[in-house]
Structure 1
Amino acid sequence: MTVIDPRGNSHHFGTGVNGPSVTIRLHEKGLERRLFFNPELVAAEAYMDGTLTMEDGSTAHDLLMLFSVNREPFGAHPVQSLQKRIWRFLKRRQQRNDVTRAKRQARHHYDLSTDLYRLFLDEGLNYSCAYYRTPDDSLEDAQNAKLTHLVAKLDLEPDMEVLEIGGGWGSLAIRMAEAGARVTSLNVSPEQMKIAEKRVKDAGVEDRVTFVLKDYREFQGRFDRVVSVGMMEHVGIGNLGTYFGKVRACLKDRGFALVHSIGRMTPPGTTGPFIQKYIFPGGYVPALSEVFEPIERHGLWVCDMEVLRLHYYYTIRDWRRRFAANRDKAAELYDERFCRMWEFYLSAVELGFLHGSNMVFQLLLSTERDAVPILRDFMFDNERALNAGN
């Protein structure tokens, strides 16, 4: 790594052998000190503001890759260890997600222009981990495979009532309705719901899908299936018990739930300061130990669990490449600072799934031990039948 300081002096670190080489320039006096004490947040903000620029063909992704491959010794530094203890102390305060605050925080991210998301998502606007059979699958094929995988696990029968907690732009609701289910889809983003309603109508299944603009805590009802994809990450550590309690309360006696979420394979941690401040305020990726405790407390059977380890890395890799290819259009929608923030975000989370502790898990939950078929074969049989029908 080469750092050109505000006085124009160059400083070289590392050997440059068997790893990435990056050159950055600092344009503001005192930036070095601020970077030392809070590198994750200050580096992102300096890049966004243009007081840290990339030189000699380096990119923000190169800088974050260099950090990523050195994350273990970097995280062991005494200053970084102190920061992590402070973040852990503040974690519950940052994630104090009452209904009003949770709605506001979700809209911070999801009420951005849908035209922005169209620049890098697949045609179905799926904004969660895809399902890659090979790393070279197209994003469209992988997201289609994810929807098929989810519907296969739900084991739907005609006219089953399904509650979707966190409906996004409607792709899963459409797929479940096409499979014969009657879907009630919860969302707190008016912008997303408006697009989802149009997509459902265009798909010809508006008579089988009902959208409800409510937080999950405001809703009541009982269903054959409950499904929640990419939403639990926004609940916050203090509300996991409430979340799983609601899942349990919404299940009929012989029903079961499918929860798809980002998790971590390490002990409980914190949300990084850049992500917390700019991208997903109030969000938190839980450790599996934090997930299973409230599940156990609410008397739910974990009938199945699947861990997707590299699938989200491939997904965000494709999102980042598409965003880069459409960067000019993103700048027309927002501005240069926003584009730099989005570049930093996509690279940071991509590398968290490549070198960090992040992964995705899918759980099947029920109040009864035999509500889910006792052999996993049903998922694969359903998946083969769904693929044969496409």
Structure 2
Amino acid sequence: MTTDHRLPYSPADIHVDPRAWPDVAHRPTSRLRALAAGRLFAAATRRLPISVEYPDGRLGGAASDAVLPRMIVRDPESLFHRLGTSGLIGFGEAYMAGDWTTDDLVGVLTPFAERVAELVPAPLQRLRSLVLPGHPDDEQNTVANTRSNIARHYDLSNELFGAFLDETLSYSSAYFGSDSAAETADWSMLADAQRAKIDRLLDQAGVGEGTRLLEIGTGWGELCLRAAARGAHVRSLTLSSEQRELALERVAAAGFADRVSVDLLDYRLVDGEYDAIVSVEMLEAVGREFWPAYFRTLDRVLVPGGRAAVQVITMPHARMLASEGTYTWVHKYIFPGGQLPSIEALREVTTAHTGLDLVDEKAMGCHYARTLRLWRERFVRSDAVIADLGFDSVFRRMWTFYLAYSEAGFRSGYLDVYQLGFTKPPVP
């Protein structure tokens, strides 16, 4: 069983600074909503393979003789007030505040992810937009807003990411070679699996000696380095100043400064012509209304006969449509302005708005589940290091929840990740 760090714990271990975490420190009060949320929660968890333990000794969840993942509710009143006021945002904030805990966070969250479409009765789901918070206007991914959205995640601290990523500093799904290998891979295999992921994308885009490569979304520069080592000339775009700084340092140290440029630039503003384009898990931050602009940009700057490779996290099409416009815990605390596409939506967008042909699709969700598990375990082991960087206990619980929440999504099949290969037809 995977165990969460320092649990079980006393709620006194978590100090919530109201200036840093106003919505976590402040428990909403709405007796009617809390009552309704409590009843919905009890009904939903009875259908899930988890046990729920309350402070007074009551047990909820599924009736089973099997050993089930434990959700330990420390403050049911606070949990239900949060759920009633802000739904799943409140569920995540309740974990951040210590209202509930568990010794198997992924084990508890995976059944929720598997049955997310069924947990709330359909008539109540239709009222979601009326009773739950909506997206803030300043998180729409316009050219004016996108940089601040990106900075809220990627400019947290290079040292923070370095505390749980492998030596390649790759912050996207690795590729372990086969699904069976992904099931058992350990930390020692992660760096090579990240390189294999990058090499597969570069091969997909036909990157080699002399290739003019555009990368949309630099990360910390590993793809730039591997492309330059093949002899490519790379222009990479990012909106994270911290990532750009470290990527340029790594490029210079490797002796590739003459082959790689890293520009602080929105993808919509890029110019030039390129033989190949690679973009790794950047599309998720674009926002649905801008997907046509993203793919039109690829089409516009890719030369006839050129190739593009895009790695992207996806969700089921029906859930994408049902949750459109929903403001989530991930939006509020992790990735403002983001939207996961479905593979069907991407096929539709590229067909309707570009001349690109989608010629290759590879799904590798189990590889991301293992990648996230390895990151989460390392993040937990690095707790003291991350605390020394100035990140408080609420932040560390938030990120543990985010990594486990994401892993549960891939383990349940609710999320997937694809490597997509596109070609632009040559001029007749």
TM-score where L is the length of structure 2: 0.78
Q: CA deviation at 1:224?
A: 0.6
Within 5 Å, give how 1:1-390 maps onto structure 2. 1-4=51-54, 8=56, 10-18=58-66, 20-27=68-75, 29-36=77-84, 38-50=86-98, 52-54=99-101, 58-68=103-113, 70-71=115-116, 73-76=118-121, 78-80=123-125, 82-83=127-128, 96-133=140-177, 134-135=181-182, 136-137=184-185, 138-267=189-318, 268-269=320-321, 270=323, 273-297=328-352, 298-333=354-389, 334-368=391-425
> Does the aligned pair in 1 maintain the 2:79–2:100 contact within 8 Å?
no
Question: Which string of whole-angstrom CA distances, capped at 9 and with x for unpartnered residues, describes residues 355-387 of structure 1?
Answer: 04211112222220799xxxxxxxxxxxxxxxx
| Aligned-partner residue type, residue 189 of structure 1 | S
Q: 1:17 to 1:247 in 2, by over 3 A?
A: farther
Question: Aligned partners of 1:75 and 1:181: how far apart in 2?
Answer: 51
Q: Shift in Å at residue 272 of structure 1?
A: 6.1
1:30 and 1:148, CA in 2 relative to 1: closer, same or farther beyond 3 A?
A: closer
C-alpha separation between the residues in 2 aligned to 1:151 and 1:19?
45
Report if aligned partners of 1:75, 1:81 keep a CA contact under 8 Å in 2: no
Tell me the distance in 2 between the aligned counterparts of 1:77 and 1:327: 40
Cα 1:259/1:23, change in 2 over 3 Å: closer
Q: How far apart are residue 112 of structure 1 and its match?
A: 1.0
| Alignment coverage as a number of residue pairs | 365
C-alpha RMSD of the superposition:
2.6
Q: TM-score, normalised by structure 1?
A: 0.86
Whether the 8 Å contact between 2:79 and 2:91 is mirrored in structure 1 is no
Partner residue, 1:383: none
CA deviation map 1:25-76 (0-9, x unaligned)? 33374532432564421121122123x1426xx3444432453455454255
Cα offsets for 1:231-290 (capped at 9, x unmatched) = 011110000000001001111122121111111233324366110100001011101222
Partners of 1:223 and 1:69 lie apart in 2 by 41
Q: CA deviation at 1:219?
A: 1.5
8 Å Cα contact 2:317-2:345 kept in structure 1:
no
- 5+ residue gaps, structure 1, are 372-390
Give the deviation of 1:10 after TM superposition: 2.7
* Counterpart Cα distance in 2 of 1:69 and 1:19: 19
Taking a change above 3 Å as real, the CA distance of residues 219 and 11 of structure 1, as seen in their structure-2 partners, is same
Q: CA separation in 2, counterparts of 1:28 and 1:177?
A: 55
Gapped regions of structure 2 (runs ≥ 5): 1-50
Aligned-pair CA distance for 1:90: 5.5
Distance apart, 1:94 and its partner CA: 8.3
Distance 1:92 1:289, change over 3 A: farther
| AA in 1 matched with 2:381 | A
> Does the residue aligned with 2:72 lie in a helix, a strand or coil?
strand
Is the 8 Å Cα contact of residues 40 and 272 (structure 1) preserved in structure 2? no
Q: Is the 8 A contact 1:128 1:230 kept in 2?
A: yes
Q: How far apart in 2 are the matches of 1:302 and 1:169?
A: 28
Provide the secondary structure at the position in 2 that maps to 1:150: helix
Match of 2:304, SS? strand
Distance in 2 of aligned mates of 1:69 and 1:179: 42
Structure 2 distance, partners of 1:247, 1:314, is: 30
Q: Secondary structure, in 3 states, of the residue corresponding to 2:339?
A: coil
C-alpha distance in structure 2 between counterparts of 1:119 and 1:21, whole Å: 28
Whole-angstrom distance in 2 between the partners of 1:212 and 1:112 = 19
Distance 1:343 1:84 in 2: 28
Q: How far apart, CA to CA, are the structure 1 residues paired with 2:350 and 2:379?
A: 37
